Amino acid sequence: MKTFLKFIGIVILLTIVFVLVAGLFIPQKYHFEKSITINTSKEEIWKNITLFSNYEKWEPWAAHDPKMQRTITGADGAPGATYSWHGNDKVGSGSQTFIELAPYDHVNIALQFKEPMQRNALVTYTLKPDGKGYKVTWAFDTKFHYPLNAVMNLFISMDKNLNNDFSTGLANLKKLCESNATYTASNLNTTFISLKKIDTFN
């Protein structure tokens, strides 16, 4: 029994050493993005990525927790508006705040996770003409400080998890946008609007 416990101790020690060393060489910044082409007007796409009330119609995490609680504060669709959620262990809790909206070009959102792990990130949506529609790219950027950068890269499949969720979300967005082709842009503010940039990676 002592030999077994000693072996386990050595394995744990070597694992810790490996993580500490690997963390010196693994980048701390993490980026992931996924794109889809949506065959509809830019106005239709824009309203669904810049209104949190519409975001609820296509975001992928509701499937993980149908009873997830959501609240929207501030002027929805404008810098400073915040979408907060609280759910089960699969979705956790946190908030998203609009920090920059450049009409029909890109949207920047400050994302703050509270549970199960506190983490800040930057979410970006960009639109580019693509054939008869627009290519929508959903990007996620964050930073894992040493030695967490090694743990996240070596033991947790961030790419796989985000790919599943982003693929589902973008497919939902495409279906939503292409099913409603009668929208007009009469109520949209087409002036560049933004909040002061913040450091999302503290």
Give the model confidence (pLDDT) of 71-121 as tens digits.
999 999 999 999 999 999 888 999 999 999 999 999 999 999 998 888 899
Domain 2-194 has CATH 3.30.110.30: no
Question: pLDDT averaged over the chain?
Answer: 82
| Cα–Cα dist 110/81, whole Å | 11
| Cα–Cα dist 195/100, whole Å | 6
Confidence of residue 56 (pLDDT cuts 50, 70, 90): confident
**Contact by Cβ (8 Å): 154, 19:** yes
| Cα–Cα dist 143/172, whole Å | 28
Confidence of residue 190 (pLDDT cuts 50, 70, 90): very low
Q: Where are the domains of the chain?
A: 2-194
Per residue in 129-179, pLDDT (tens digit) is 998 899 999 999 988 766 766 667 776 777 888 899 999 999 999 999 999
What's the N-to-C CA distance of the chain in angstroms?
A: 45
**Please, which residues bridge with residue 135 across strands?**
37, 128
pLDDT higher than threshold 70 for residue 18: no
Q: Model-level pTM?
A: 0.79
- Which helix (H) or strand (E) covers residue 134, if one does? strand 133-143
pLDDT of residue 70: 93
pLDDT of residue 191: 37
- Whether the bond between 116 and the residue before it is cis, its omega within 30 degrees of 0, is yes
| Cα–Cα dist 127/37, whole Å | 9
